[in-house]
A and B are shown apart, each in its own frame.
Chain A
Amino acid sequence: MCPECDATVSLGEGVERGEVVACPDCNAELEVIRIDPPYLVLAPPEEVDWGE
C-alpha cells in the first residue's frame, strides 16, 4: 500500500529490501522496507551530500 495515496503497489520480481520503487498511481518514490509482507515508506528526499 502506498503511504501517500493508499494505492496498491505490487512489488515486481527481483525487488529487494532497500530499493526505491514508484507508486503507479501518485508516482511517489517509495522505499521497500520489507518484502514479505510488503512494507513501503516514502523514500527520503535527496540530501545535499548525496552523489558520487
Chain B
Amino acid sequence: MSSRIRVGMLCSRMRVEEKLLRDALVQRDLDVDIVDDRELTFALAEPVRDWDVVLERSLSQTRALAALRVVESWGVTTVNRHAVVAACANKLDTSALLEAAGVPSPATAVAFSPEAALRATEELGYPVVLKPVTGSWGRLLARITGRDAAEALFEHKALLGGPEHSIFYLQRHVDKPGRDIRAFVVGDEVICAIYRESEHWVTNTARGASTRNCPVNADLRATTLRAAAAVGGGVLAVDLLEDGDRLVVSEVNATMEFRNSIDVTGVDIPGHVAGYVRAVASGAMADAGV
C-alpha cells in the first residue's frame, strides 16, 4: 500500500529557503504541514501522529533542539537528527567530533577563565580567533592580534557574559585568501560549493560576503564528506578554509541557508533536499511496514 508522505516543516518564519523547500516538497508529491515553532505545545505522553518526517528549519537553535528531542522520542523521522543538530549547534562539540575523526580543522583550544584563556591564546600564537561556542551568522567573533586585546576581551567576556561565555573557545587564525568555501552536503553527496568572498576577515554572507561557484574537486569532496560523517550526516553546509595548500573545516551547519547559492552554482539545492527528505521518510516507513 502506498501512502503520501506527510512532512512537518518546523519553521519560525517563512524565509526564501522555507518557501523554496516547501515548493520542492510539494512538487515531489509530499504533503507539507508548516509548523510554527512558536505555536507548538507538546504533551510528551500524547505523541503527535501528523507527520512521517519532520524537516527542521527553525531560526532558533534552542527551539529546534527541543522540538527534535520530543518528536524523535515519539519515533518520528527527522531531518536533521537531533544528535546532528546538537553537534553542529555547539562549536566545541563540532570541533571534538572533527578532531576525533581526524578531519583537518584549525588548531583549537578551550579554557574556562580569563587567565587560562590568555595562556591558551599565547600557546596557539597570535592572531587567534575567539568564538562563542554557540552562535551563528558571524556574531561575536573576535580576531585577537595581541596580548592587550586578549586581556581586554577575556575580561569583558568574563564580566558581561552568561554562563556559556565562561567557555573560551579559541582557534588559531587561518590566513585565508579573502574567502572561504561552503560545501553543501545532502546525504552522501556534495551537491555543490561556493566561495564566500569578502574584504572583511569574517566571510559570512550574513555579514555581506559575496558568493560565486566553487568547483567540487576530489579533495574538497573528500574533506567535506568526512566532516559531514563526523557530525552524523544528513543535510549539511560545511565551511572550509584554504590553509596554504590544504583545506581545514571551520564549522558545520545543520540548518543551512542557501538562497545565495542556487543561481551561482546552478544547482537545485531545495530539490536535492526535498528528494533526500522523501528518501529518508520512505525508508523509515518501509522499515516500519507502513
Judge whether B62 and A49 touch: CB under 8 Å. yes
Chain A residue contacts of B256, Cβ below 8 A: 52
Across the interface, name the chain A residue whose C-beta is closest to B256: A52
Q: How far is the CA of A31 from the CA of B15 in the complex (A)?
A: 11
How far in angstroms is the closest Cβ of chain A from B137? 5
Q: Which residues from chain A contact B18 at a C-beta distance below 8 Å?
A: 18
Assembly CA distance A51 to B138 (angstroms): 9
Residue-wise, chain A 3-21 has the 8 Å CB interface mask toward B (1 for contact) of 0000000000000111110
The residues of A that contact B135 with a CB separation of less than 8 Å are: 48-49, 51
Out of B14, B34, B62, B257, name the residue touching A52 (CB < 8 Å). B257
What residues of chain B lie closer than 8 Å to A48, measured between beta carbons? 134-135, 139
Q: Are A50 and B137 neighbours in the complex by a CB distance under 8 Å?
A: yes
In this complex, the interface size class of chain A, counting residues with CB under 8 Å from chain B, is 10 to 19
Please measure, in the bound complex, the distance between the C-alpha atom of A47 and the C-alpha atom of B257, giving whole angstroms: 17
Q: In the assembly, what is the distance between CA of A32 and CA of B84, in Å? A: 31
* Residues of A close to B13: CB separation below 8 A: 18-20, 31
- Chain A: interface secondary structure? loop
Which residues on B sit within 8 Å (CB–CB) of A20?
A: 13, 15
A26 to B13, CA, bound (A): 21
* Bound-complex Cα distance A19 to B104 (A): 39
- Give the distance in Å from the alpha carbon of A47 to the alpha carbon of B58 in the complex: 12
Assembly CA distance A51 to B139 (angstroms): 10
Q: Which of these, A16, A17, A19, A51, contacts B137 with CB under 8 Å?
A: A51
Chain B residues numbered 161-185 whose CB sits less than 8 Å from any CB in chain A? none
Chain A residues positioned under 8 Å from B62 (CB to CB): 49
- Minimal beta-carbon separation of A42 from chain B (angstroms): 14
Asked if B14 and A17 make an inter-chain contact with CB atoms under 8 angstroms apart, the answer reads: yes
**What's the nearest-Cβ distance from chain A to residue B90, in Å?**
11
Find A18's partner among B34, B136, B257 (CB 8 Å cutoff).
B34
Chain A contacts for B254, CB-based, 8 A? 52
Q: How far is the CB of A38 from chain B (nearest CB, A)?
A: 15
How many angstroms from the CA of A49 to the CA of B255 in the assembled complex? 12
Contact A52 B136 (CB under 8 A): yes
Residue B200, interface by CB 8 Å: no
- List 5 A-B pairs, minimum CB-CB distance, nearest first: A51-B136, A18-B14, A52-B253, A50-B59, A49-B62
Residues of chain A having any CB pair with chain B under 8 Å:
16-20, 31, 47-52
* Seed contacts A17-B14, A50-B59, A52-B137; 20 additional CB < 8 Å A-B pairs: A16-B19, A18-B11, A18-B13, A18-B14, A18-B34, A18-B36, A19-B15, A20-B15, A31-B13, A47-B59, A47-B60, A48-B134, A49-B60, A49-B62, A49-B134, A50-B137, A51-B59, A51-B135, A51-B136, A52-B256
